[in-house]
Amino acid sequence: MAAIESFSATHPGDPEPGDLIEIFRPAYQHWALYLGDGYVINVTPVGKAGARVRMQLLKDVVGSDTYHINNKYDGTYAPLPVEEIIRRAEYLIDQEVSYDLLSNNCEHFVTLLRYGEGVSSQANRAIGAIGFVTAAAGAFSLLGLLRSRSRERQY
């Protein structure tokens, strides 16, 4: 990895190898793992259920968006040694991996590299919202069925 000059895309601090980088896209957050020398590893969707693991310059992945270093799970999971994180990450470069928004997304990918555990609060929030909507729809359906039966009994 060749060294590159620093860039200023609203970057708060200098990432260290193994850091999780949260990138704020207009409708979601994208996640990458910092490798060093300005490079990150991340997954980019390539088909219905697949993604390609790519090593790219952080500035290219961020583009015109903003980002910050966010090792938010360090209090819950112990980070693996940096050398192991980087070794595991480099092994996966250019490989195709499965991808699923709710169970195997970009945040799952980078947290699996850093902690050995794939975690995504973004996916957990989405699953919670889906569960709430499903429960609410079920409750409204049940209320409709009960009302319908109540009317049938009156006649």
- What is the Cα–Cα distance from 35 to 27, expressed in whole angstroms? 26
**Which residues pair with residue 79 across a beta bridge?**
none
Query: Which residues are identified as catalytic?
Result: 30, 106
Q: Which residues pair with 33 in a beta bridge?
A: 20, 41
DSSP letter for 123, please: H
- The vertex-53 CA angle with 102 and 6, nearest 5°, equals 110
Q: Which amino acid is at 154?
A: Q
Taking the C-alpha atoms of residue 50 and residue 11, their distance in angstroms, rounded to an integer, is: 30
Residues 6+ apart with CB under 8 A from 70: 20, 21, 22
